Amino acid sequence: MSDQYNEIVTTFPLFKGLTPQGAGMLLDRGEVRTHASGDVLFREGEAPSFAMLVLTGRLHVFVEREGRDVVVSEVWPGALLGELSVLSGLPRSASVRCAEPSVLAVWDDKAFRRLLLSNVFLSERIFGQALRVLIDRERALIDSLLESQAGQGR
């Protein structure tokens, strides 16, 4: 079964160029976990104890506001989650729930940092993606502020 996940990892854009053997070494540094639909993987405000890669399935990233869950994004196979919190040491900025049965590769915070320190290829890819995520969030926030101001006639 792990060979199947090794092959899947090599199809993700973040890991383009990685061999199945390289993917196997990556997965061996963590743990492959299966989750049911509805499982909450982590909650907003929690300490960052792990990062994860979606291998199969679909997840919802959500925040709880005014007593209800607000889904802010859907996450598909190939997405890395929790890396920003693990790298920064800051609490989780949102919660994550399985929208359908999902399989994840999970690395505890120490293993994830060791992985980045030991693999330049992976470090460059993950840091580049993390910066893109931050820039995209900043742009979305600016757009939202501009729309709000336009709606107020300013």
pTM recorded for the entire structure = 0.88
Query: 114-125, pLDDT tens digit by residue?
Result: 999 998 888 999
Q: CA 56, CA 73: separation in Å to the nearest integer?
A: 17
Q: 101: domain CATH number?
A: 2.60.120.10
Q: Residue 135 sits in which domain range?
A: 2-151
Query: 9-56, pLDDT tens digit by residue?
Result: 999 999 999 999 999 999 999 999 999 999 999 999 999 999 999 999
Counted domains in the chain: 1
Q: Are strands 95-98 and 102-108 parallel, antiparallel or unpaired?
A: unpaired
Q: Which uninterrupted H or E stretch holds 138? A: helix 120-151
Q: Which residues contact 60 (CB under 8 A, 6 or more apart)?
A: 71, 73, 74, 75, 96, 97, 98, 99
